[in-house]
Amino acid sequence: MDLLPLYLSAKLAAIATVILIGLAAPLAWWLTNGAWPGKSFVEALFNLPIALPPTVIGFYLLFVLGPRGSVGRAWETLFGGPLLFTFTGIVVASIFYSLPFAVQPIKASFEKIDPRLKESAYVLGLSPAATFFRVIIPNSLNGIAAAAILVFLHTMGAFGVVLMVGGSIAGETRVASIAIYEAVESMQYEKAWTLSLAFIPIGYGFLLLVNRLTRK
């Protein structure tokens, strides 16, 4: 059995997860603290990928990351190559696609923290940045871990966005979900069955872990 699509899916999910957790933690903290004009609109914008079909997200990313889009044009200027139909391109697309699955669990974890902890840190002379890294993050590790697992699983199963932005290039952008689709389309049911079966224990095991983390 060709395990390369599974490897690419895991590699894509791992890279997107690491980047997203680094981005989502400060974003979630920003959304958690206080009320400011337009907060609900910004939060809805971050959650928009949940409401839109993956193909719609992929269609717009196709233009944004393409040679005529602002991001794609800037990338070509800086690095001399395109984003579309590359592994880097599907990483960028996956970050946009999975953003709410990182922000929301971390934000919920931040909201559970006793406000007195933050106030005590300020009284002791800690700066907002020091309070975030030395008080907030250590008290939110379960929520951050749960967010990382959800992002990993969501990205592992990505299909529409990856197909629109990356196509199906063997060894580059043909992740497991695309390989399964192509196997079914060509009536290679044994290959599709084997690849599909690999997802079940991975997903079930990680979801059990999420349940344990969120109960604590």
pLDDT band at 216 (very low <50, low <70, confident <90, very high): low
Per DSSP, the residues of 160-205 read HHHHHHH---TTTT--HHHHHHHHHHTT-HHHHHHHHHHHHHHHHH
Q: Is the pLDDT of residue 98 over 90?
A: yes
Q: What is the pTM of this model?
A: 0.89
Q: Is the pLDDT of residue 11 over 70?
A: yes
Q: Is the pLDDT of residue 34 over 80?
A: no
Q: Report the 10 Å Cβ neighbour count for 67.
A: 12
Mean pLDDT value across the chain: 89
Q: What is the DSSP letter of 139?
A: G
Smallest Cα–Cα separation from 163: which of 151, 172, 174, 149?
174
pLDDT in tens, 162-214: 999 999 999 899 999 999 999 999 999 888 898 888 888 888 888 888 787 77
Fold of 4-215: MetI-like fold (1.10.3720)
Q: Where are the alpha helices (DSSP H) in the chain?
A: 4-32, 39-51, 54-64, 70-79, 87-111, 115-123, 128-131, 141-156, 160-166, 176-185, 189-215
Sign of torsion, CA 85 172 178 204?
A: negative
> For residue 189, what are the CA distances in angstroms to 194, 195, 199?
9, 10, 16
Every domain of the chain and the residues it spans: 4-215
pLDDT of residue 115: 85
Which residues, in sequence order, are CB contacts of 154 under 8 Å at separation 6+?
A: 97, 98, 101
pLDDT band at 65 (very low <50, low <70, confident <90, very high): very high
Q: Is the pLDDT of residue 128 over 70?
A: yes
pLDDT of residue 195: 87
Q: Which residue has the higher pLDDT, 104 or 2?
A: 104
Q: Is the pLDDT of residue 144 over 90?
A: yes
HSE (side-chain half, CA atoms, 13 Å) at 122: 6
Q: Which residues of 115-133 are buried (b: 16+ CB within 10 A; e: fewer)?
A: eeebeebeeeebeeeebbe
Q: What is the DSSP letter of 136?
A: I
Q: Is the pLDDT of residue 99 over 90?
A: yes
